[in-house]
Amino acid sequence: MSRLLTLAAAAALIAISLPAFAQNASIQVEKPYARATPGGATTGAVYMTLDNKSNAEDRLTGASSDVASTLQIHEMKVVNGTMEMREVAGGLAIPAGGSVVLKPGGYHVMLIGLKKPLKAGDSFPLTLQFQKAGKVSITVPVQAMGGSNDNMPGMGHHMDMK
């Protein structure tokens, strides 16, 4: 009888935890990374690919980490020949069954008020907040500056932070 109660309790716990696990499993984070920053830098960025495995759109609405005082979802784009960077209002849409690439020169998680420089070879925890999937925690490796992923467009252009 006690074995039957133990199995029933275990089944109940699994049933309760499945919806939370299924929600987080709907968003998969691939290849997260940040670039090393020079000493004295106060900002950095995190890049990755977000895959939405569900049949409903979701939104990346925020992020948190102890490496910086503020984290924001940003977009860089050229407007009238000027490179602009601004926070994405309302969060970043991740289409149902689709993906969004956060990369240099495009969408990224902006780290504002770095508490110390990001050093190549280090890593740090980052929690992403999604409208439907909830919180997804990842580890972000820090890569060396100037690698092949640095394809920032608009070099030589004026960049406005808006």
Enumerate the domain spans of the chain: 27-161
Q: What is the pTM of this model?
A: 0.76
Tokens representing 100 are 């969004």
Tens of pLDDT, residues 113-127: 999 999 999 999 999
Please name every residue paired with 73 in a beta bridge, in sequence order, or none if there are none: 109
Please name every residue paired with 114 in a beta bridge, in sequence order, or none if there are none: 68
- pLDDT score recorded for residue 77: 86
Quickly list DSSP for 103-144.
Answer: -TTSEEEEEEEESS---TT-EEEEEEEETTTEEEEEEEEEEP
- pLDDT score recorded for residue 147: 55
Contact 135, 128 (CB under 8 A): yes
For residue 31, which of 16, 12, 50, 45 has the smallest C-alpha distance?
50
* Least trusted range by pLDDT, from 12-16, 32-36, 82-86: 12-16
Contact 52, 98 (CB under 8 A): yes
Contact 91, 61 (CB under 8 A): yes
CATH superfamily, domain at 27-161: PCu(A)C copper chaperone (2.60.40.1890)
- pLDDT score recorded for residue 145: 85
- pLDDT score recorded for residue 39: 87
Tens of pLDDT, residues 27-40: 999 999 999 999 89
